[in-house]
Amino acid sequence: MRVPLSWLRELVAVEVPTDELALRLSMTGTAVDSVTRLIPGAEGVVVGSVLEVADVPSSDKLCVAQIDAGSAGRFQVVAGAKNFAAGDRVPLAVPGARVRTLDVPVGVRTMMKTYESQGMLCSSSELGLSDDHSGICILDPDAPVGADVVTLLHLDDEVLEFEIYPDRPDQLSVIGIAREVAVLYDTELRFPDSSVVEEGEAAASRTSVTIEDAHGCPRYLARVISDVRTGPAPALAQARLTACGFRPLGNIVDATNYVLLLTGQPLHAFDKDRLAQGRIVVRRARAGERLQTLDDVERTLDESDLVIADATDAQAIAGVMGGAPTEVGPRTVNVLLESAHFDPYSIAVTTQRHGMRTEASARFERGSDPEAVPVAASLCAELIRRWAGGTVAVGAVDAGAAPPRRRLELRRDRAEALLGARVPDADADRFLRALGCEISSDGPVVSVIVPSWRPDLEREVDLIEELARLSTYDAFPLEPVTGLGGGLTSWQIHRRRLRDVLSGAGLSELTLTSFITQDQLVSMGTPPAIEVTNPMTVDQRHLRPSLLPGLLQAARHNVALGVTDVRAFELGTVFLDWPQDADIPTQVERLGVILHGAAGSPGWHSERRPLDAFDAKGILELVCAELGVGGWTLRGCEELPFHPGRSATIQVDGTVIGRFGEVRPSVRTSFELDEPVVLLELDVGGLFERAPRTLTVGSLPTQPPVLRDIALVVDEDVAVGDVDATIRTSGSERLESALLLDVYRGDPVPEGRKSLAFRLTFRSPERTLTAEEADAAREAVADALRRTHRADIR
């Protein structure tokens, strides 16, 4: 939404610097995206009064005019248009002036070898108002002679561009922005005079309105203006329309657009003589009904489209765009002016169906002001009367009615509790009244009637939000006066950290269905699942007892579409059983991870290798490190769907909290996956229960480490994890880490035995360890390995 500053200041008297105004508005939720100063299309152009005009003999187009430019003097100008007469005010580019269409300054020229032209009279195109260069621009008859045209028409104005949020349709108008400014600076809003001069017959005798769909169109008002003369709109109106991003199209259409920008109420002008029986019917479209809209596209209407019709055919898509058959044009004499209120949802659906988004639909689909319907019609009818010389019929045909205004209650104590500070009662009442609310206070409770232009004020909390933003957020203390309970629970904190670390590891989050097919249950070897009595599909009639089948199905879908590298996770609920005395099944939150394809990025710069179980183990290490969960160990896993020898169960304090590893070939084949697949599933509850709410970070080491290697031979059935645990518990507090370097089988290691090699890192936080101390610590580890695992130290 673009708003010229001069237009805004006509409605509210605020003379603060533009940057300050923009900042103040932005700080209260009316976001100013940018402030732009217009570049005038002319320089040195003044208001001239036409004293006399005479045709140039032997020329059909040229005329010579005597122009009074006030203090600038009197000029003779030869013009190439004859649409002006003595007494008119016109823009005169005196010698030395510049206009948009010339690359050099305006000079003095001799025309037809006889007439000296001392400057030039400007069209709208030369001034930069529009592309119309068919005639001389006629200024307001009250324009001061000799005044600078750029200043008079605000061609060098500053324009504020606003980002209007979907819940604030009232701000899609100059009045809406002016109302915000008036509230912020506690000043008066000067609403334009909406009175209209009416003559002749009553509008009800000239037309009628029938609403067949009151839900789609609660209110429709029609005014009739007769004997209009189409032509250009006044220069100031053209300048404002152009500054707001609208293209001037002629006085009738420009009047509707001008009032649209001013009030936010869309209007439409029909050529009344082209309406069958000159009347309006608001209805739904008939099956197969067609309409050529103003964008010259012939559209097939849907039966759910709301249309504005005459006695026979649809003539406009309601709230979106008018039709070409009844378009106002040069031959229009009588105008039927529409001002209506439409159901926002109906307009939004029609807009999306036809791929049409217009200035009107953008306002209607957000919720227009039903009480602005007659006001906007009166403003526009009066502008058409002034700009096009028409006669406005007496009264209007107003069918339907505006819905009653919403009534709310505001508890002052509730506002204080939510905001953490009290807005003084006098300020709160002033803010609400300035917004247009009607209020009556009964002690701690305020009764509020919401203005019709604020559809976003639906609940008490919406009123409290208004008090907060209009008080400005700087007015609230850093520490609230009254505190509210709440904040994130430890589970919510852990869940966020879990998502962050997985996303940081390059995994994408999935949200999958909670149902599973019978075939997937069988292939995965999962326990019996809970069957629902009303499944959405025949196949998906079981609640999932595991996340893994859904992840495999997602990988299958991606691979079928050519996405072979799948790295994803899901945080979701599984359904384990249904106790007889329970109302709902036992539900557990789990984390599932799937890896398919190759590690590394495609291309020569990155080494590619198949993803394996150790990649899943790396993700497990990242998760546990991020959550601060230690002391976990691994044991072999032989359960479906995992591959024996390439998978493991995860234990913490003797409790199994998850599994990971490569999927058996038979299982992945059932999901049409040819490449190896790695899965990880963790019990989120078991993980979070062992995670501290906050992590303690130690200081960085300042002393150098001492490294010692140890190699040992143990029986084949001794788990490496058990050996690692023994090393860590026997290495004293000086053992910082134990890293497995090698696992070897073969000569000279006896059959049934294996050789393990570890690198031990010892460090003291206070001083450098001596070689003797490191050797003694290594020997203590060796003794523990001999006792616990019958290890032979090499």
Residues 583-607 have a mean pLDDT of 85
| pLDDT recorded at residue 112 | 76
**13 three-state secondary structure:** coil
CA distance 308 to 704: 85
How far apart CA 463 and CA 415 sit, in angstroms, is 9
| Rounded CA separation 421/85 (Å) | 66
Percentage of the chain lying above the pLDDT 70 cut: 98
Beta strands in 69-166 (DSSP E): 74-79, 89-98, 108-111, 115-118, 120-121, 158-163
> What is the per-residue burial (b if ≥16 Cβ within 10 Å, else e) of 669-696?
ebbebeebbbbbbbbbebbbebbeeeee
Contact 98, 43 (CB under 8 A): yes
Q: Within the chain, which residue ranges are assigned CATH 3.30.70.380? A: 706-793
Is the pLDDT score of 271 beyond 60?
yes
What one-letter code names the amino acid at 157?
D
Torsion of CA 267, 269, 275, 281, to 10 degrees: 10
In this model, does residue 683 exceed pLDDT 90? yes
Question: Which of the four CATH numbers 2.40.50.140, 2.40.160.40, 2.40.10.220, 4.10.910.10 does domain 43-152 have?
Answer: 2.40.50.140
CB 223 within 8 A of CB 399: no
Fold of the CATH domain 198-400: Phenylalanyl-tRNA Synthetase; Chain B, domain 3 (3.50.40)
Return the sign of the alpha-carbon dihedral for residues 143, 146, 147, 149. Answer: positive
Q: Which structure tokens are listed for 710?
A: 């140890």
Half-sphere exposure (Cβ direction) of 779: Cα atoms closer than 13 Å? 6
Tens digit of each residue's pLDDT (9 = 90 or more) over 488-502: 888 888 999 999 999
Which residues face 12 on adjacent strands?
Answer: 189
**Which of the four pLDDT bands, split at 50, 70 and 90, describes residue 331?**
very high
Predicted local confidence at residue 566, as pLDDT: 93
Q: Sheet with 792-793: list strands edge to edge.
A: 735-744, 753-762, 706-715, 792-793
Asked whether residue 532 carries a pLDDT value surpassing 90, the answer given is no
Strand ranges (DSSP E) for 99-184?
Answer: 108-111, 115-118, 120-121, 158-163
**In whole angstroms, how large is the CA radius of gyration of the chain?**
40
Q: Tell me the CB-side half-sphere exposure of residue 168, using CA atoms within 13 A.
A: 20
Name the strand (E) or helix (H) holding 346: helix 344-354
Are 365 and 346 in contact, with CB atoms under 8 Å apart?
Answer: no
Per the CATH hierarchy, to which homologous superfamily does domain 706-793 belong? Ferrodoxin-fold anticodon-binding domain (3.30.70.380)
* Numbered ranges of CATH 2.40.50.140 in the chain: 43-152
> Does 482 score more than 70 pLDDT?
no
Backbone angles phi, psi at 140, to 5 degrees: -60, 135
Q: Where are the domain boundaries for CATH 3.30.56.10 in the chain?
A: 408-475
Question: Which among 405, 570, 389 has a CA at the least distance from the CA of 495?
Answer: 570
Mean pLDDT, residues 367-382 taken together: 96
pLDDT level of residue 485 (50, 70, 90 thresholds): low
In which residue ranges of the chain is CATH 3.50.40.10 found? 198-400
Angle of helix 235-243 versus helix 251-263 axis, rounded to 10: 50
pLDDT of 479: 67
Superfamily name and number for 491-689: Bira Bifunctional Protein; Domain 2 (3.30.930.10)
Query: How far, in Å, CA of 672 to CA of 171, rounded?
Result: 55
If pLDDT is split at 50, 70 and 90, which confidence band does 481 have?
low
Per DSSP, the residues of 315-336 read: EEETTTEEBGGG---TT---EE
- For the segment 214-222, the average pLDDT, to the nearest whole number, is 96
- Note the pLDDT of residue 528: 76
State the CATH architecture for 408-475: 2-Layer Sandwich (3.30)
Rounded Cα distance between 305 and 316, Å, is 10
What average pLDDT does the segment 392-418 reach?
93
Nearest-angstrom CA–CA distance, 528 and 137: 84
